[in-house]
Amino acid sequence: MQQPASGIDSPFQRCVDAPVMGFGLGIDIFDDSPAYQRLIENHRESFDYLEIYTRGDWEHSEPSLREIAQAVPHTYHHEGLDPVGPRLCARRKIEGCAQNLGFLNAPWCVEELAVRYIDGRYTDFFFPAILTQESLEQSVRNLITLQEYVPVPLLPEIAPYEIAMGDIHVLDFLSGIAHGANMGVVLDLGHLWSWQLCQGKGDDPLEGIKRMDLSRVIEVHLAGARVDKMPNGSRIYRDLHGAGPIPQASLTMLEALADKMPNLRAITVEVENATEAAAVEQLNQVRQITAAVNPSFRRADDAA
Amino acid sequence: MPLDDQWSALYRLFYKRDVRKDFFDNGTRPVKSLSDSDVALLQGIGAERLEHVVALHQRDIGANWYQPRVPATWLALQSLLDFDEEELVASLTNSPAFEDRIDDDSNGQALMAFIKEQISRSMELATTGPWLPDLLRYELYLAGKLNAKPAEVAHFEYAVGGIREALLEQALCPDGECPEEYHSLFVRNSNEIAEVALDRDQAEVVRGIIAGESVTRISQRLPQLKIDDVTSIHEECRNLLDSLSADFLDAS
CA–CA gap between residue B9 and residue A300 (Å, rounded): 47
To the nearest whole Å, the CA of A293 is away from the closest chain B CA by 36
Mean pLDDT for the stretch of residues A24-31 = 96
**Has residue B90 got a pLDDT over 50?**
yes
Domain regions of chain A by residue span: 11-303
Q: Does the pLDDT at position A1 exceed 80?
A: no
β-bridge pairing B193-198 and A109-112: unpaired
CA–CA dist A221, A158 (Å, integer): 10
d(CA B4, CA B218): 57
Q: How far is B38 from chain A (nearest CA, A)?
A: 9
Is CATH 3.10.129.10 correct for A11-303? no
Interchain proximity A163–B49, CB inside 8 Å: yes
User: Band of the pLDDT at B251, cuts 50, 70, 90?
Assistant: low
Query: Which SS3 state, helix, strand or coil, does residue A271 take?
Result: coil
Other beta carbons within 10 Å of A86: 22
Q: Mean pLDDT highest for which of A7-11, B89-93, B241-245?
A: B89-93
Mean pLDDT in residue range A90-109: 97
pTM of this structure: 0.91
User: What is the rounded CA–CA span in Å between residue B46 and residue A171?
Assistant: 21
CA distance A116 to chain B (A): 10
What local confidence, expressed as pLDDT, does residue B10 receive? 97
Residue B147 confidence class, pLDDT cut points 50, 70, 90: confident
pLDDT band at B250 (very low <50, low <70, confident <90, very high): low
pLDDT at residue A85 is higher than 80: yes
Q: Do B3 and A134 touch (CB under 8 A)?
A: yes
pLDDT the model gives residue A149: 96
Report the alpha-carbon distance of residue B21 to residue B23 in Å, rounded. Answer: 5
**Tens digits of residue pLDDT in B22-63:** 999 999 999 999 999 999 999 999 999 999 999 999 999 999
Task: Report the residue of chain A nearest B11, measured CA to CA.
Answer: A118
Do residues A165 and B44 make contact, with C-beta atoms less than 8 angstroms apart? Answer: yes
Mutate: best of A32, A121, A140, A195, partner B, most B CBs <10 A: A121
Whether the pLDDT of residue B246 is over 90: the answer is: no
Q: Do B53 and A163 touch (CB under 8 A)?
A: yes
Interface test mutation site (partner A, options B11, B19, B33, B61, max chain A beta carbons within 10 A): B11
Gap from B53 CA to chain A (nearest CA, Å)? 7
Number of other residues whose CB lies within 10 A of the CB of residue A112: 25
The rounded distance, in Å, linking the Cα atoms of B149 and B210 is: 10
pLDDT range class, residue A230, cuts 50, 70, 90: very high
Question: Does B123 or A114 have the greater pLDDT score?
Answer: A114
Say what the pLDDT of residue B252 is. 47
Q: Which of A22-36, A81-95, B187-201 has the lowest mean pLDDT?
A: B187-201
* B6 contact residues in A (CB cutoff 8 A): 130, 132, 135, 165
Reduced to 3 states, what is the DSSP secondary structure of residue A191? helix
**B48:A230 CB<8 A:** yes
Q: What pLDDT band is residue B245 in, cutting at 50, 70 and 90?
A: confident
Q: With contact defined as beta carbons under 8 Å apart, do A285 and A246 qualify?
A: yes
pLDDT at A242 over 90: no
Mean pLDDT of A89-114: 97
Are the C-beta atoms of residues A103 and A57 closer than 8 Å to each other? no
Q: Is the pLDDT of residue A302 over 90?
A: no
CB contact under 8 A, B102 and A125: no
With CB atoms and an 8 Å threshold, state whether B56 touches A238: yes
Answer for the pair A282, A269: CB distance below 8 angstroms, yes or no.
Answer: yes
Q: Taking 70 as the threshold, does the pLDDT of residue A5 lie above it?
A: no
Find, among A210, A186, A190, the residue nearest to A12 by Cα.
Answer: A186
Q: How confident is the model at residue B249 (pLDDT cuts 50, 70, 90)?
A: low
What is the gyration radius of the CA atoms in chain B, in angstroms?
23
Pick the residue from chain A with its C-alpha nearest to B52. A230
Q: Which residues of chain B neighbour A127 with C-beta distances below 8 Å?
A: 7, 10-11, 14
pLDDT greater than 70 at residue A35: yes
How large is the average pLDDT for residues B145-150? 85
Average pLDDT of the residues of chain A = 95
Q: In whole angstroms, what separates CA B121 from the centre of its chain?
A: 19
pLDDT at residue B175, as a whole number = 81
Q: From the CA atom positions of chain A, what is the Rg in Å?
A: 18
In this complex, the residue of B42, B52, B104 whose CB is nearest that of residue A230 is B52
Residue of chain A whose Cα is closest to the Cα of B59: A124
Interface of B with A (CB under 8 A): 1-4, 6-8, 10-11, 14, 41-42, 44-46, 48-50, 52-53, 56-57, 60-61, 64-65, 99, 101-104
Q: Where are the extended beta strands (E) located within A34-149?
A: 49-53, 74-77, 109-112, 114-118, 121-128
Please report the pLDDT score of residue B1 as a whole number.
Answer: 63
Write out pLDDT tens, residues B204-235.
Answer: 999 999 999 999 999 999 999 999 999 999 99
CB contact (8 A) between residue A127 and residue B52: no
Averaged over B130-138, what is the pLDDT?
Answer: 97
Burial of B121 (0-12, 13-18, 19+ CB in 10 A): exposed
Using the 8-state DSSP alphabet, how is residue A46 labeled? Answer: G
CB contact under 8 A, A86 and B4: yes
Q: ∠B164-B169-B175 over CA atoms, to 5°?
A: 50
**What does the pLDDT read at residue B149?**
85
Q: What is the pLDDT of residues A253-272, one digit of tens each?
A: 999 999 999 999 999 999 99
Q: Cα–Cα–Cα angle for A286, A29, B58, nearest 5°?
A: 85
For residue A6, name the pLDDT band (cuts at 50, 70, 90).
very low
Instruction: Choose the mutation target among A118, A195, A198, A272 for the interface with B, i.e. most B CBs under 10 Å.
Output: A118
Torsion on CA atoms B25, A118, A164, A184, rounded to nearest 10: 170
CB nearest to A121's CB, from B1, B11, B44 = B11
